[in-house]
Structure 1
Amino acid sequence: MNATCEPRSPRAVRISSSPAELAGLGTLLKCVQAGVGDVPALLALAKDVGDTAPRPGAGRTALLWEILASVTAVDVAAGRILEPHLDAAAILAQAGGAAAADFASDRVSDRVPDSVPFEGAWGVFAAEAPGLTLEAGDAAGRTVLNGSKPWCSIAAQLDHAVLTARLAGGGRAAFAVNLHAAGVSFADPKWTSLGLREVPSGTVHFEAVPAIPLGGAGWYYQRPGFAWGGIGVAACWLGGAVAVARSYQGALQKAADGGREPDQLALAHLGEIDRTLAALIQYFARTAARIDAGELSGPGAWSEALRVRGGAAAAVERIQTLVSQNLGPGPLAFDPRYAKRMADLSLYIRQHHGMRDDAQLGALTFKGGHPW
């Protein structure tokens, strides 16, 4: 079997919202489909979605995750672009709104002259790497950033970012920064991966760049929204897994229409894919409901995020394995949409740290943080 069958019209990924709510995503998904590979167009869509998308914990968390999953099911890179933009908006809202209001107003001009109104495309940069350090300090009564930040995806094409930096007194904190400010420079990412080619991640250098603090030391990691945002990434992985599963089902149907019925092995693998996705989607629905009910705003939020993220990453890898074994090398060699999705998704889920994340969850479980 060497061909997949992609749907002409993209379909939403349903977690728990009504069909009527999901029907409203049709125009967005068609625009994503038309914008595949066009980063400026996808950033423009992200800005539009950011104006209306629900915030996590505000009562419609499932719909937020359905938007992320549905966009990623159309194109993994599009989901990878949309997710941090929506996460940045949520972070600013969680910071209480004061920092965002200051960042958007003229009141900030006397201490951060290079800032711009709160608009445009945003990223979130919290990763660190050996030998690269970004530090926040004080200069003439204003906060400035000095140093380098790694793994900054498409930073040169963004307008602003929420990022983390080390503090002189120890610890790390979050800041909002204008990426067009004087003192910001972008290193060539030298991206060689075939996955997420539109979303290369490189290093950004900062030299006395003004920034707006968002919360104090440790706030970025201690807020429940940190866990909620981590599940948002997993919602994108879910969308990628659904897209791979749909292409497999479509390939089986196309073969059957041509007189080649699927054998028992192909059907068994389709059955495993179905129950894997069904269980994962139910977990997302349950977790979204618990977030909106205020049940995951304490220490248990990160444990739940690790469970969801681990389950989603495992589902992606298992579904990719089953589908690639059944469809063989043909689609990888001759179907550009299928090959792109598999490469993009394989790289994207490496944001999950595998057994290291399970070790984190195990440590929390050892202390009694489990539901069983």
Structure 2
Amino acid sequence: MTGVQADLSVVFIGDNRLDGAAAASLDEADRLDAFGADVAATLAWAVGAGAARGHRRSLAEDWAFLAAVASRDVGAARILEPHLDALDILDQASRDGDDVDLASIQADSESSWGVFAAEGAGTRLEARENGSGWMLTGTKPWCSLAQHLTHALVTAWVGDERRLFAVALQAPEVTPHPGPWHARGLQQVVSAPVDFHTAPAVPVGEPGWYLRRPGFAAGGIGVAACWWGGALPLREALVQAAQGDGADQLSRVHLGRVDAALWTARLALRSASHPTEGLATASHPGALAARVRTIVAGAVETALAESARALGPLPLVADEAHARRVADLGTYLRQHHGERDLARIGADVAEGRGAW
């Protein structure tokens, strides 16, 4: 993307630079040893970044911040994004008039959060209310960093509907699994099942609120902003290759393809973040979010494929940061479901939910 600095210290999605709190958080990240690789240190940084950013932010600022973190380290963005998403969910619940009793599960401004909403065959997490409150029983799959986090927002079944609950993960009634996790990308971000044995929990919103809330689509695009930011250094590596001695037309073809793809992805993010024409006023925000995620995922896939062809095997075996970025992005991108997500877009359009 034309105009992105070589050090990627500034990432633009909208028209404005990141505010002072976000810039200060990025400066702190640049001073951290093993940023993204050291889970405890990165989580502590994420908690501080979440506390510093405040509540009045634009989508463009949020997504640019996530992208800027991912440009530094994809693993760090994977750690940060769900924590910020959880804070946004809790803030939205408060604005909707839901007084969530976080003190009852010992959650405060120092808590680190995950969001566990996946379902899996053969597993089911159920919530029941007894005389002393709500209790969670069962197994939740794909719980990222559950062994490290203090708290999580978890979807559980109440009859035939899913409802969101806040729960303390360090409680004796909660048992995170250490695996299986044989990933080569995002090795440090273990995503494994968690068993809940009548664990005390606090409801967040009414049944179905989590999926219906306006911020659900924005959270999905936030993940895409991480993918996009994580791919920007691949473009920069192609710029350097195209400027090097002996660079030929092919090096410029690879760069051109990646530049055009990532530029298109930026335009999609920018359009969705527009305060009057984007996600905030969309009649069907889920359809818009699906389009943006698909465009961004395609652009990042292009960046991975073209950089592999252009740069060859050397950086994959001799450049630790590049090799880790490629592996991390490959794993992170699997949160996009490819043709299944395209089918959902097609269904939205066919059923009248995808007007331009």
Normalised to the residue count of structure 2, the TM-score between the two structures is: 0.91
Q: CA deviation at 1:19?
A: 4.0
Equivalent position of 1:30 in the other structure: 30
1:352 aligns with 2:329: no
Equivalent position of 1:189 in the other structure: 179
Matched to 2:234, the amino acid is V
Equivalent position of 2:111 in the other structure: 120
How many residues matched? Answer: 349
Equivalent position of 1:69 in the other structure: 67
Equivalent position of 2:206 in the other structure: 216
1:42 aligns with 2:38: no
1:296 aligns with 2:280: yes
Equivalent position of 1:162 in the other structure: 153
Matches within 5 A, 1:121-140: 121-140=112-131
What is the aligned counterpart of 1:265 among 231, 250, 253? 250
SS at match of 2:241: helix
1:47-98 per-residue CA deviation (whole Å, 9 max, x = no partner) reads 011113365xx55111110110010111100000000000000000111256
Distance 1:364 1:309, change over 3 A: same
How many angstroms apart in 2 are the aligned matches of 1:220 and 1:206? 20
How many angstroms apart in 2 are the aligned matches of 1:50 and 1:295? 22
CA contact (8 A) 2:71 2:233 kept: yes
How many angstroms apart in 2 are the aligned matches of 1:161 and 1:371? 36
CA contact (8 A) 2:173 2:196 kept: yes
Equivalent position of 1:152 in the other structure: 143
Matched to 1:67, the amino acid is F
Q: Which has the higher contact order (CA 8 A, sep 6+)?
A: 1
1:142-167 per-residue CA deviation (whole Å, 9 max, x = no partner) reads 11100011101110100000110011
Residue range with higher mean Cα deviation, 92-101 or 235-244: 92-101
The percentage of counterpart residues that share the same residue type is 40
Q: CA deviation at 1:247?
A: 2.2
How many angstroms apart in 2 are the aligned matches of 1:20 and 1:297? 23
Normalised to the residue count of structure 1, the TM-score between the two structures is: 0.88
SS at match of 1:314: helix
1:277-310 per-residue CA deviation (whole Å, 9 max, x = no partner) reads 12211221121114x6785366510000000100
Matched to 2:191, the amino acid is S
Distance 1:25 1:154, change over 3 A: closer
1:115-156 per-residue CA deviation (whole Å, 9 max, x = no partner) reads 443532100000011111100001214111000111011101
How many angstroms apart in 2 are the aligned matches of 1:308 and 1:47? 28
Matched to 2:138, the amino acid is G
Equivalent position of 1:279 in the other structure: 264
1:162-214 per-residue CA deviation (whole Å, 9 max, x = no partner) reads 1100112x110111111112200111213111100110111111011111111
Equivalent position of 1:368 in the other structure: 352
Matched to 2:141, the amino acid is P
Q: CA deviation at 1:249?
A: 1.6
CA contact (8 A) 1:166 1:172 kept: yes
CA contact (8 A) 2:272 2:278 kept: no
Residue range with higher mean Cα deviation, 296-305 or 191-200: 296-305
1:324 aligns with 2:303: no
Equivalent position of 2:294 in the other structure: 310
Structure 2's unaligned 5+ residue stretches are: none
CA contact (8 A) 2:10 2:17 kept: no
CA contact (8 A) 2:86 2:153 kept: yes
Equivalent position of 1:229 in the other structure: 219
Matched to 2:329, the amino acid is L
How many angstroms apart in 2 are the aligned matches of 1:298 and 1:77? 31
Q: CA deviation at 1:244?
A: 1.5
1:60 aligns with 2:58: yes
How many angstroms apart in 1 are the aligned matches of 2:6 and 2:307? 20
Matched to 1:38, the amino acid is D
Distance 1:85 1:23, change over 3 A: closer
Q: CA deviation at 1:13?
A: 1.8
Distance 1:328 1:37, change over 3 A: same
SS at match of 2:280: coil
Q: CA deviation at 1:34?
A: 4.8
